[in-house]
Amino acid sequence: MLYAARPIVTSKNEGPIRGTMLFGRLLTPTEAEALSERTHVTMKVWNIASGTLPVSESTMLHSAPEVGTKKLQAHGDAVLHAYTTLPDVYGDPLLLLRADLPRDITLQGGTSATFAAACTVADGLLVLLAMWGILQFRVLGPLRAMATHAIRIGRHDDLKARLQFDRRDEIGTLAQELDRMVESLANSRKKVLDNAHREGMAEVASEMLHNVGNAVNSANCYVELLEEKLASSKLPGLQKGVKMPQEQAPRAADFFERDPRGPKLVEFLTQAAEALQQSHEDQQVEVHRLRDTIRHIRDAIAVQQNFAGRSNFVQEISLQDLLNNILAMNQELLRSSEVQVHLEIPDLPELQLNKSKMTQVLVNLVRNAVQAMQQTPSDERYLRITASIAHNDGLELQITDRGMGFGPDVQKMLFTHGFTTKGEGNGFGLHYCANAIRESGGSIRAERPGPGQGATFSIYLPQVMPSAVLLAP
């Protein structure tokens, strides 16, 4: 029984004590459950003297604190056991009381701590990720692009690629200086190549002109000797000597017998014949020398042409500028022939071409096209030049006219050496075009839509696109 005792005193809590007031309640299982419901705490009560105390609680009783004090023991993460002993009337331990306290606040605190730690880690990761992104975007990415750009320039020799960073910080300044340095290097290389090509051409031309000049001087000497010998020829006297027998033909016998000029005429004719024979022999010698000299000139020119044909000096040129220069070279011919020119050239980078060869090829084709339209009505004379990107990093060029065209037999012979349809042509132009294009690794073909419908010459040049088009930054 649980009891409470209080002395009986006055209302002013003054004595003497008149007795003792006792209140008691039996601690039955039902009462214990009701007490648990009112306090919202699960409680267990064991009578220490009854001998029904569980083994686990007996262990706790031996280590229990003094009567009236409390001891806490964690039972898992969710429950906390609170123990205390209740004394009997003599002050000795009588009951062992255990209250099972839920650890909701502790769990909430642990959850909060875990959540706070997770948030701290997540915030740190987000900060690291943001810093990594900023470094990648603002520092590492641009530096990597600059390194890749420098490697591409070194490996592919592409001096046309540019970084074009629009930044005002140190990386932007470095990128701009790198672009400026590459541009300066490209300009310097172009100047060096142009000067080397020009000096090489001048040296070869000087040597050839020296050889040809020597040969021409010799030829001029031989021509002067021939002129002198022709001026001192006995031919005028022979003509007079021949004329005299013709005049005396009716009395030729009497002339040679009685006229004193007759024997002299015979002697003169004999001497003139000998002189002419000697002059003829001398002139043959001079003619042979002149012929050998002309052959020497021809051989010197042929050597230069062969050397020029083997040369494949490639440089970066603008197709638009090249065509503009070619049309300017033929401006007077186009104007006088009333030919309208249409260019269809896409926006292309500078191409790797042999400028000299391509200039000669296109000049020949343009002039042939203009000459082929001489019989075409002036309002129908159109020259169309188109360009497009072809396979194998190549270029396709087409020159189309509205001339008289050609037949199948002529089409087969167009690029043959010496073949021409012109009255004053030598048949070298299209043959040179075909050889020049083939030496560049390309091909040329002639197409005919039909009789009187003009012609189209198509040129294919492989691997002329710069690597700047193929390798984007």
163 within domain boundaries: no
Amino acid present at 186: A
Do 243 and 358 sit in the same domain of this protein?
Answer: no
Do 374 and 454 sit in the same domain of this protein?
Answer: yes
Do 240 and 276 sit in the same domain of this protein?
Answer: yes
CATH of the domain at 35: 3.30.450
Amino acid present at 414: L
Above 50 in pLDDT, residue 245?
yes
Amino acid present at 397: L
Do 235 and 370 sit in the same domain of this protein?
Answer: no
Query: pTM here?
Result: 0.45
145 within domain boundaries: no
Above 50 in pLDDT, residue 169?
yes
125 within domain boundaries: no
pLDDT at position 439 is: 85
Closest among 62, 69, 61 to 45, alpha carbons compared: 61
Which H helix or E strand runs over 343?
Answer: strand 340-344
| Residue, of 343 and 276, whose pLDDT is higher | 343
139 within domain boundaries: no
Q: Using the 3D structure, point to which of 246, 270, 302 is the last residue of a domain.
A: 302
Q: Burial, 312: exposed, middle or buried (Cβ in 10 Å; 0-12, 13-18, 19+)?
A: exposed
Domain assignment of residue 396, given as a range:
315-470
Do 369 and 336 sit in the same domain of this protein?
Answer: yes
> Rounded CA gap, 453 and 404, in Å?
6
pLDDT tens for 69-88 read 777 777 777 788 888 888 88
Do 425 and 341 sit in the same domain of this protein?
Answer: yes
Which H helix or E strand runs over 353?
Answer: strand 351-353
> Rounded CA gap, 241 and 267, in Å?
10
Q: Using the 3D structure, point to which of 55, 83, 103 is the last residue of a domain.
A: 103
Is residue 273 within 8 Å of 281, Cβ to Cβ?
A: no
Q: How confident is the model at residue 472 (pLDDT cuts 50, 70, 90)?
A: very low
> Rounded CA gap, 288 and 297, in Å?
14
> Rounded CA gap, 15 and 31, in Å?
35
Q: How confident is the model at residue 388 (pLDDT cuts 50, 70, 90)?
A: very high
Q: Using the 3D structure, point to which of 78, 103, 128 is the last residue of a domain.
A: 103
379 within domain boundaries: yes
Q: What string of DSSP letters covers 419-470?
A: --SSSS--S-HHHHHHHHHHHTT-EEEEE-SSTTS-EEEEEEE-S-S-HHHH
For the chain, how far is it from start to end, CA to CA, in angstroms? 94
Q: Per the structure block, which two tokens stand in for 122?
A: 């997540």
**Percent of the chain surpassing pLDDT 90:** 14
pLDDT at position 268 is: 65
19 within domain boundaries: yes
pLDDT at position 96 is: 81
pLDDT at position 201 is: 61
Q: Which residues contact 148 (CB under 8 A, 6 or more apart)?
A: 473
pLDDT at position 240 is: 59
Domain count, the chain: 3
Q: What average pLDDT score do residues 287-305 get?
A: 65
| Residue, of 369 and 102, whose pLDDT is higher | 369
pLDDT tens for 4-58 read 888 999 988 888 899 999 998 888 888 888 888 888 888 888 887 777 777 777 7
Is residue 418 within 8 Å of 427, Cβ to Cβ?
A: yes
Do 89 and 210 sit in the same domain of this protein?
Answer: no
Do 267 and 351 sit in the same domain of this protein?
Answer: no
| Residue, of 424 and 80, whose pLDDT is higher | 80
Do 363 and 448 sit in the same domain of this protein?
Answer: yes
